Chain A
């Protein structure tokens, strides 16, 4: 599509980064910190490891 001052807003909204509902989970951002918390709370550790993040 043509990228102009008139089409900018719609294309920006269509392409801007989206977050999934996965962000409703209180993810811990460090594997070691997660391991410490799992040890304290006696729960299994659920790890989502992906390239990048």
Chain B
């Protein structure tokens, strides 16, 4: 399938959270496609809705289109009433492949993009989203999250047992420097700055294993603390051991009232190395392990509300384009400011 996609299509992977609300031609192009491919509107009806950036609806999906927005195939189509035709856009590879083949048949009979075109660069990009906030000289962590083995396991096989997810953690340069005092000596126990603890806990100790969830509200933090102990120091680097814990609890109503609370009781441990010459971390490996319970509307826990073990690991991110993806909590207007001021 991968070779098939590479040879016959121009594949793009994009961040729907921003595009579906962008007030520029790129956002309008996505909405032209998704109003048709996901919501079933005609091309003309979709065109009439392009300026609506406060639609409050989800436009994610898999789409095959011409450059003029003629939809040749799509997945994650919604039926009337808002019920999704599939859970997750990639959950059935056979149906996905069928869609791609059908789209190629439609390509042969397309009404638009009948010849090579030259499309100009995007002249204007909606400035209300943060395009340049990636902390170039800061610290970026790549996070993985998954369920851990259970002694009593009633989960069905498949996605609900095997799911894993990922996120990115951002620290600015001044925040990195605040973690390691210049005069730190072996044996020193340094409290992790409170704002960084709150950021890690509220935004990154979250149950994204099966799907999206919301960040923890500030008042959900029952207890959270992290310390850095200097374990070794040379003229070139400092080694630190991170340890900590977090207890989170929040009440609400999810799954039409079937779930009234969610919580997490976790411990953290990590090994860090800070290069004194470059003033950068060269190792930042952290694990959080604990019991989670409850769920939120989109993280697919409605049949898995009882306490069960979850694991989260963070390490320094790579340099691929995808490694510049903003933290999941930073995908809406104003969210980046909230993230850095947790």
Interface of A with B (CB < 8 Å)?
1, 3-5, 8, 11-12, 14-18, 21-53
Contact = CB atoms under 8 A, between A and B. Distances in A.
B212 interface: yes
B215 interface: no
A52 B212 CA distance: 9
Contacts of B87: none
Given A29-B12, A44-B103, A49-B16, A16 B322 contact: no
Interface in B228-265: none
Nearest to B141: A17
A52 B331 contact: yes
Contacts of B269: 3-5, 8
Interface stretch (B43-51, B78-86, B112-120): B112-120
A31 to B, nearest CB: 5
Query: Which 9 interchain pairs have the tightest Cβ spacing?
Result: A34-B12, A17-B144, A15-B313, A46-B9, A15-B311, A39-B117, A27-B13, A38-B10, A49-B16
B72 A44 contact: yes
B290 to A, nearest CB: 8
Given A12-B313, A39-B113, A45 B65 contact: yes
Contacts of B166: 17-18
Interface in B303-342: 309, 311-313, 315, 321-322, 325, 328, 331
Given A18-B144, A38-B67, A48-B89, A12 B287 contact: yes
Contact of A31 (B29, B103, B311, B313): B29
Nearest to B15: A53
B17 A45 contact: no
Contact of A40 (B118, B122, B322): B118
Among A21, A22, A45, max chain B CB count under 10 A is at A45
A29 B320 CA distance: 11
B289 interface: yes
B9 A29 contact: no
B189 interface: no
A3 to B, nearest CB: 4
Interface stretch (B56-64, B153-161, B170-178): B56-64
B2 interface: yes
A8 B12 contact: no
A35 B143 CA distance: 31
Nearest to B115: A42
A13 B40 CA distance: 43
Given A11-B289, A48-B11, 8 more contacts: A14-B313, A25-B5, A40-B116, A43-B9, A47-B33, A48-B62, A49-B60, A50-B89
Interface string B136-166: 0000001111101100000000000000101
